[in-house]
Structure 1
């Protein structure tokens, strides 16, 4: 089988592991930079040209599309879809997951628990926004933020009002969420493949840091999810039509609460923390579904 990984960096851990496991299982694996692909659109013959050849031999793709190149990256994924190539996540699902507000709305409709969240169109009444989520402390997130960037913990009313007024002045779109104190700076990451949880870890922020992202110095350890946590992860995957994804959640007094769903989760932290071969699970998922 000819498998293409859409990635801009062949040296990334996740890309290297997917190549390794694909080759081990007898497939041809190639890394292609989606930004260097030419999309050729013509009647009944959609094609992609890359460097010196047409990519008409590809059986399956693994999108590793960074947030900064979502538009063009998804256009390339969509073109492969038009060519009948199997993709582990569709272009539409990637775009939905990258829109924090849209994905939270879909997840809420699906009955998935999450921290109380408010979004407004640059409201001048910031005090009311804060009260809608139960008062301070509150989490304020840029809609376009990734890896913990653009996330602020405002512990007092005056701090929250100042941050919201500053973001509103810059016309930066944000959501305001209640702060889950009992989570104690930790969250859970469940890795879903083929709609099933194949590994889970607990990420703990470093001392004095409320964000648990490993990119920001957090630590991780393997954890066994309880029934409600497993159910939340699988339901979130289904609601966003993401058979392969990372689901982040908080442990709270009222049960697990969803933070976000990542359509291109990194494999390094979770493979090291759990000892699970996640890359192999992804390749096997392709084998099961690609024609």
Structure 2
């Protein structure tokens, strides 16, 4: 098969792993920068032009669309969909997952447990917002943050008020969530492929850090999920129609609680921590769908 990886950086670990596993299974793998694609819209003949050729030979795509290029990246994915090309995640599913508020609303409707969350329209009644999530400390998140950026722990009412006022002044929309103390700065990342969990790791934030992101100095170890955690990961994947995704959750006194679902999860942390060949699982998922 001719498989295209939509990525702006061909040297990233995830991209290189997908190239290696794809070629090992006899496929032609090409890395294409989605921002350098021209979308040609014509009656009954949707096409994509890249550098010096039309991409009319592609059998499947693997979107690795960064959050900063979501709009155009998803437009390219959507064009491939119109051309009948298989994609491991659809453009609509990527956009749903990138909108934290929209995805949490959908996941809540699906009956998935999560920390109490409040979204408000630049409210100045901070005390009421804090009350809705059970009091301080609280987590304040930008609706469009990644890798732990735009996430603040406010330990007091005054701190929460200052942070919310600052974000309001910047016209930045945020959500406020309850702080799960018993998680102790750790979370779980479950990697789902074809609707099934193929690997899971527990990430621990460095000392004094409430965020567990590996990009921020956290560590990770393999973990075996219990029944409730497996169910949450697979249900979240199904609810957002993301057959390939990373599901982040917290361990709490009332069971696993979902943090967010990542439509283009990195592979380095999960493969290193678990020893699982996630890249190969993604390639075989494409093969099974093309057949």
| TM score, norm. by length of structure 2 | 1.00
SS for the counterpart of 2:285 is helix
SS for the counterpart of 2:148 is coil
Residue 213 of structure 2 corresponds to 213
Q: Confirm or deny: 8 A CA contact 1:126 1:165 kept in the other structure.
A: no
Deviations 1:153-203 (A, max 9, x none): 001111111111111121110000000000000000000000000000000
Residue 132 of structure 2 corresponds to 132
Q: How many Å separate the matches in 2 of 1:84 and 1:167? A: 42
Query: Which of 166-175 and 261-270 deviates more?
Result: 166-175
Q: How many Å separate the matches in 1 of 2:126 and 2:178? A: 14
Residue 220 of structure 1: how far off its partner (Å):
0.2
Q: How many Å separate the matches in 1 of 2:257 and 2:39? A: 40
Q: Confirm or deny: 8 A CA contact 1:62 1:87 kept in the other structure.
A: yes
Residue 144 of structure 1: how far off its partner (Å):
0.9
Q: Confirm or deny: 8 A CA contact 1:37 1:50 kept in the other structure.
A: yes
SS for the counterpart of 2:171 is coil
Deviations 1:187-228 (A, max 9, x none): 000000000000000000000000000000000000000000
Q: How many Å separate the matches in 2 of 1:156 and 1:120? A: 19
Q: How many Å separate the matches in 2 of 1:157 and 1:59? A: 54
SS for the counterpart of 1:264 is coil
Q: How many Å separate the matches in 2 of 1:68 and 1:290? A: 30
Query: Which of 123-132 and 278-287 deviates more?
Result: 123-132
Unaligned runs of 5+ in 1: none
Deviations 1:76-121 (A, max 9, x none): 0000000000000000000000000000000000000000000000
Q: How many Å separate the matches in 2 of 1:39 and 1:89? A: 19
Deviations 1:112-146 (A, max 9, x none): 00000000000111111111100000000000100
Deviations 1:226-282 (A, max 9, x none): 000000000000000000000000000000000000000000000000000000000
Query: RMSD over aligned Cα, in angstroms?
Result: 0.5
Count, aligned residues: 291
Unaligned runs of 5+ in 2: none
Q: How many Å separate the matches in 1 of 2:178 and 2:27? A: 47
Residue 58 of structure 1: how far off its partner (Å):
0.2
Q: How many Å separate the matches in 1 of 2:124 and 2:214? A: 35
Runs of 4+ with >6 A deviation: none
Query: Which of 98-107 and 162-171 deviates more?
Result: 162-171
Q: How many Å separate the matches in 1 of 2:287 and 2:107? A: 29
| TM score, norm. by length of structure 1 | 1.00
Residue 290 of structure 1: how far off its partner (Å):
2.0
